Amino acid sequence: MIEVEVFPHRYLKATTTEKFLNEIYSLETVERVIIHGQPLPKTVYYGPARGTPVNHSERKVINVHGVPVELTVMAGRFWITLKDDSEIEKIEEICKSLFPFGYDIKVGKFTRDKATVTDYIKYGERVVNMMDRSLIGLIDPRSKFESAVKIIPKEKDEKTSSKE
Amino acid sequence: MAYTPQFYPGKTRIAQNRRNHMNPDVQLEKLREIPDDDVVKIMGHRQPGEDYKTVHPPLEEMDLPEDYVRDLVEPINGAKEGHRIRYIQFTDSMYNAPAQPYDRARTYMWRFRGVDTGTLSGRQVIEMRESNLEDIAKNFCIDTAFYDPAVCGIRGATVHGHSLRLDENGLMFDALQRYVYDEKTGHVLYVKDQVGKPLDEPVDVGEPLPPEKLAEITTIYRKDNIPMREDTELITVVKRIHRVRTLGGYIPTDEIFKEL
């Protein structure tokens, strides 16, 4: 299992993110994608306009292989977990076609794969020992599972997660 | 002691741009013409056409104690009329914005009277009597080459974005999306005022400058434009200040200045 970081040189619009995720999930070796970016608030949280709805045009529900995914961030980085390195060139091709402004691709290890003390405190020892290994390190401990993780069914279970 | 101000050290174009900003005799290139009312709308302190609110009666009508400083210093118009003090705040992207916080502060201090500025890493606030502030905001801060619609933002609160990558349209990230890029016309439209309250009608602030032009007029040293290391004169000055401050502190002796 290897991980690839895709780092576009611009923050992506929701439509580009949608296209990118759809193409990435069409690849066979992709197991999960973590979306990393700038959070887009629903309401103004500070200042004289506090509480006013923001209505950010990039915070919307996108469709990834038939599954509605609510984008809560403006995507700026993707961590893609792959089964093996056979399809890295294909990822590069996708990036080339979607990111004309430039991008970086790095192969390495970007997320944790072992349970931490926080996990044990939050979920309890039994749950951590039982849980799906691919869920470890997917989201940060403060976010809620339902809002941060989407499972996109295909031949195999795949997940996409939004996090700050 | 009479002397000629040098404004800023450095031999590169960036240093020259900084000097141009600070030098009150230099007229910055006028690039756009935003109507007065639109600037008032973006600032959001009063409705266009509304009278200025006052905090004290006009100075002439006030019975003030004798003070010779008052005779020496001519008050600005807003102070004479007793207008409120209001603010406008700008955020400048690191991607070759024409100005940046320290440059802004120095420029305001050199060019204008009756101004109070606050400098932070990502934003720069100006406080001033309302009528004078509107005049400066329009005629200097927005209409000239001191501003770019894409990489400068007028943001009163929630300013986050100056150190982030730009978005796909080349705009600086804004969580509140105060301005949007109109893909049909290529213009930037303000749809909210500076604190994030929606405007009735969008305010057009014109087209973003091309990247080559920004690279030419910017006051930010960057490795992909002109790096600071290239500016030997500036480096000498910075090193000198650093040495004098760290070694001299509050008791600078002759020894510290010996080799400088």
Q: What is the pLDDT of residues A86-137, one digit of tens each?
A: 889 999 999 999 999 999 999 999 888 888 888 888 888 888 888 877 777 7
Q: pLDDT at residue B210 above 60?
A: yes
Residues A135-148 have a mean pLDDT of 73
Q: What values do phi and psi take at B83, rounded to 5?
A: -65, 160
Q: Supply the ipTM of this predicted assembly.
A: 0.85
The overall average pLDDT reported for chain A is 86
Split at pLDDT 50, 70, 90, the class of B1 is low
**For chain A, what are the domain ranges?**
2-163
C-alpha–C-alpha distance, residues B134 and B36, integer Å = 8
Domains within chain B, CATH numbers bracketed: 13-222 (3.90.320.20), 227-260 (no CATH)
Instruction: Give yes or no for A164 touching B (CB within 8 A).
Output: no
Token pair for A84: 């093996």
Residue B194, beta-bridge partner list:
none
> How many interface pairs between A and B have CB atoms less than 8 angstroms apart?
67
Among all residues of chain A, which has the CA nearest to that of B158? Answer: A46
Residue A1, beta-bridge partner list:
none
Q: Contact B158/A46, CB-based, under 8 Å?
A: yes
C-alpha–C-alpha distance, residues A106 and A102, integer Å = 14
Instruction: Give yes or no for B191 touching A (CB within 8 A).
Output: no
C-alpha–C-alpha distance, residues B116 and B1, integer Å = 26
Q: Judged by CB atoms within 8 Å, which residues 86-145 of A form the interface with B? A: 101
Helix B101-111, helix B13-22: angle, nearest 10: 40
Among all residues of chain A, which has the CA nearest to that of B170? Answer: A10
Which of A40, A47, A76 is facing B196, going by the closest CB pair?
Answer: A47
Q: Is B194 buried (19+), middle (13-18) or exposed (0-12) by CB count in 10 A?
A: buried
Range from A125-129, A160-164, B250-254 that averages highest in pLDDT: A125-129
> pLDDT value at position A130?
85
The distance of A21 to chain B (nearest Cα, Å) reads 17
Split at pLDDT 50, 70, 90, the class of A164 is very low
The distance of A115 to chain B (nearest Cα, Å) reads 31
